[in-house]
A and B are shown apart, each in its own frame.
Chain A
Amino acid sequence: MQGRVLMGVVSLALACAIDVLAIGDGAAFDATRYPDWKGQWMRLGSGQGAPWDPAKPWGAGQQAPLTPDYQALFEANLRDQAAGGQGSDPSFRCIPTGMPRVMIAVQPMEIVITPDATYVMLELFSTLRRIFTDGRDWPKEIEPSFAGYSIGKWEDTDGDGRFDTLVAETRAIKGPHSYDSSGIPFHEDGRAIIRERISSDKTNPNVLHNEITSIDSALTRPWAVKRSYRRVPVKEPIWSEYVCSENNRHVQIGSENYVIGADGLLMPTRRNQSPPDLRHFQ
């Protein structure tokens, strides 16, 4: 009897080992090593105007640690917005909001984890972030992009054998960009570095947290903000397309912004605005 049980143990262990090896074959994906972040995520907290720091009011209330130069630019932009202008926020011209602002997740987000890369797919401006987790070094030169170039590393912070935190660093972010719609600016040198720590809530697996730290020459010190997302409790969530150009009424001609009216005609956006230069028409 004992012998039969021992044989059973050996057979089971062998079968298991063979199966695990099969999973390991060809760098196969062992999902038990990664957190379950499947599904559709939406931002938690619906602060008016979607401020960058959800714990503080939009605009000057964000108390962004800007250098005096950039604080002055920010305030001038707020005055322009108060007067009906667009300020320094380029997204009204369908320029992507870029990193890190896109991680506010004003529109839904999906996260797809593979061993070599984690894909963050955001509906806003059809933003696709590839966070490379294949152990690569930073390339010597990177063409700036609005999503930036991200390298990540998985951490098992509680030592339970399963990764729980994705630590990402993003560089080469293309400007102009701002933290939120109030126009809090990044430095124009394009050298901002964004560090993220993404992890599930300790008690609620349907809540995801992202500690985002911006390091930028327009700041007097790194600016850390915590954003959170909730998983939509639907098995087959609806994904939409966000095509900004489709219904955008704003037109930039030269340095001037105009708007297309309901009748399809070009209209000024401020009093006494000059019409566009028509020198190329007879």
Chain B
Amino acid sequence: MPMRGSISLVTLIGALCATLNGVRALDETKYPDWKGQWVRANSAEAAAWDARKPRGLGQQPPLTPEFQAIFEANLRQLAAGAKSSDPTARCIPAAMPRVMMAIHPMEIVIMPDTTYVMVETSSTLRRIFTDGRAWPKEREPSYAGFSIGQWEDTDRDGRFDTLAIETRWIKGPHSYDDSGIPLHSDEQAIIKERISLDRSDPRLLHNEITTLDNALSKPWTVTQSYRRVAAARPTWTERVCSEDGQTVRIGEEDYALSDGLLMPVRKGQPPPDLRYFNQKRTQN
């Protein structure tokens, strides 16, 4: 009889353990601590894709001659005051990989099947699937793209330290930064990332980003770094671009909106074609 009781106890404890362990979603001891708010480590005023090099031509992107010419034309437009090469001026999301500059704060939530990267810029939500899925045959392109990741334990200490990601199906138009370094319009770009904490400073996160794109003569690798904000309860903000709509496209022209009035974005820009209105201009 006492033995039957002991067997029941074994069964009970076994069942309890199975419940506790079998259903648990996340063993945090297996994953790195990337909690909190991250902002880009390099806080230069004009954010260049490669933070180590000057913005614009100084970036020396390995563009094909055709896309180098497009880039230089974009720079000339910018110098003339137009921002048409930068779709974010029209509230089009910054997209991958540019959004990973983390101009605005970023949060990373690690779950076993997915790592969520939430960037305030363009209200971007990236889902990086780590559930072992294969690439789907087709996906509708999106600005965040479709990402599959894999955790690596590079120092073999029993805990993952690096998230290796590949992102495909990124929607265009997009550029690396606001200087208008273009990605190819064929939307075939592939972005590979390796995200890991700094070896000596757990408040620093590094992201080695390699872009493979038909506008490039070779893969372009750049490291973005982020620093963890030292606040237990950081403030998160909403970025609603359309709220303060800066630019409007009418016909082939971009115009600025300021104080409720339409403004030219370059000297001598013609006003919009108002053929659908009676031809009287509002007099003030």
Q: Name A's B-contacting residues (CB within 8 A).
A: 1-2, 5-6, 8-9, 12-13, 15-16, 19-20, 22-23, 25-32, 93-96, 112, 114, 119, 121, 125-128, 130, 132, 134, 136, 143, 145-147, 174, 236, 238-241, 243-246, 248, 251-255, 260-261, 263-268, 272-282
Closest to A30 in B: B24
Residues on A with C-beta less than 8 A from B16 are: 16
CB-defined contacts of B70 to chain A, threshold 8 Å: none
Stretch of B54-62, B207-215, B222-230, B262-270 with 4 or more beta carbons under 8 angstroms from chain A: B262-270
Contact of B7 (CB < 8 Å), options: A5, A15, A125, A244 = A5
How far is it, in angstroms, between the C-alpha of A268 and the C-alpha of B275 when the chains are bound? 10
Which of A5, A16, A264 sits near B6, CB closer than 8 Å? A5
| 7 nearest A-B pairs in the assembled complex, by CB-CB distance | A31-B25, A94-B242, A254-B260, A245-B91, A126-B123, A275-B277, A281-B271
In the complex, the answer to whether B251 meets A278 with C-beta atoms within 8 Å is no
- A residues within 8 A CB of B251? 263-265
What are 27 of the A-B contact pairs (CB < 8 Å)? A9-B13, A12-B13, A19-B17, A31-B26, A32-B20, A96-B238, A96-B240, A114-B111, A119-B109, A126-B125, A128-B118, A128-B123, A146-B238, A147-B238, A241-B93, A241-B144, A245-B91, A251-B248, A253-B260, A264-B249, A265-B272, A266-B273, A274-B280, A276-B272, A278-B272, A278-B282, A280-B264
Contact between B264 and A281, CB atoms less than 8 A apart? yes
Hey, which chain B residues are within 8 Å of A243, CB to CB? 92-93, 143
B233 within 8 A of A: yes
Task: Report if B274 contacts A (CB, 8 A).
Answer: yes
B284 CB within 8 Å of chain A: yes
Interface, chain B (partner A; CB < 8 A): 2-3, 6-7, 9-10, 13-14, 16-17, 19-21, 23-29, 33, 90-93, 109, 111, 116, 118, 122-125, 127, 129, 131, 133, 139-140, 142-144, 171, 233, 235-238, 240-243, 245, 248-252, 257, 260-264, 268-278, 280-282, 284
Question: Does A16 contact B240, Cβ atoms closer than 8 Å?
Answer: no
Provided the pairs A143-B237, A255-B260 are in contact, do residues A16 and B277 lie with their beta carbons within 8 angstroms? no
Q: Closest CB of chain B to A63's CB: distance in Å?
A: 31
Q: Is the pair B270, A281 in contact by a Cβ cutoff of 8 Å?
A: yes
Q: Give every chain B residue within 8 A of A12 (Cβ-Cβ).
A: 10, 13-14, 17
**How distant is the Cα of A98 from the Cα of B145 in the complex, in angstroms?**
25
- Cβ A26 vs Cβ B238 within 8 A: no
> Among the interface residues B7, B129, B131, B281, which one has the most CB atoms of the partner chain A within 10 A?
B281
CA of A256 to CA of B27 in the docked complex: distance in angstroms?
A: 55
Distance (Å) between the CB of A75 and the closest chain B CB?
Answer: 27
**A94–B91 touching, CB < 8 Å:** yes
Partner of A280, one of B129, B140, B261: B261
Are A268 and B277 in contact, with the CB atoms below 8 A?
yes
Q: Are A277 and B29 in contact (CB under 8 A)?
A: no
Inter-chain CA distance A130–B35, complex, in Å, is: 14
Instruction: Report the bound CA distance from A119 to B109 in whole Å.
Output: 10
In whole angstroms, how far apart are the Cα atoms of A25 and B26 in the complex? 12
A174 to B9, CA, bound (A): 57
Contact B28 A30 (CB under 8 A): no
| Other A-B pairs beyond A12-B17, A244-B242, 7, CB < 8 Å | A9-B9, A26-B33, A126-B122, A128-B118, A238-B140, A265-B276, A279-B261
Q: Given A241-B144, A281-B270, do A114 and B109 touch, yes or no (CB 8 Å)?
A: yes
B-side contacts of A268, CB under 8 Å: 276-277
A199, chain B: closest CB distance, angstroms: 19
In contact, A30 and B20 (Cβ under 8 angstroms) = yes
Given known contacts A246-B92, A253-B262, A265 and B284 CB-to-CB distance under 8 angstroms: no
Q: Establish whether residues B250 and A264, one from each chain, have CB atoms under 8 Å apart when the complex forms.
A: yes
Q: Are A23 and B20 in contact (CB under 8 A)?
A: yes
Say how far B134's CB is from chain A's closest CB, in angstroms: 10
B243 with A26: CB separation less than 8 A: no
Contact assessment for B92 and A32 in the assembled complex, using a CB-CB cutoff below 8 Å: no
Interface pair B264/A95, CB less than 8 Å apart: no
Verify A254–B125 contact, CB threshold 8 A.
Answer: no
Please name all residues of chain B whose beta carbon is closer than 8 Å to the beta carbon of A114 when the two chains form the complex: 109, 111
Pick from A245, A261, A275: contact of B92, CB under 8 Å: A245
List chain A residues, Cβ under 8 A from B260: 253-255
Contacts of B26 in A (CB 8 A): 28-29, 31
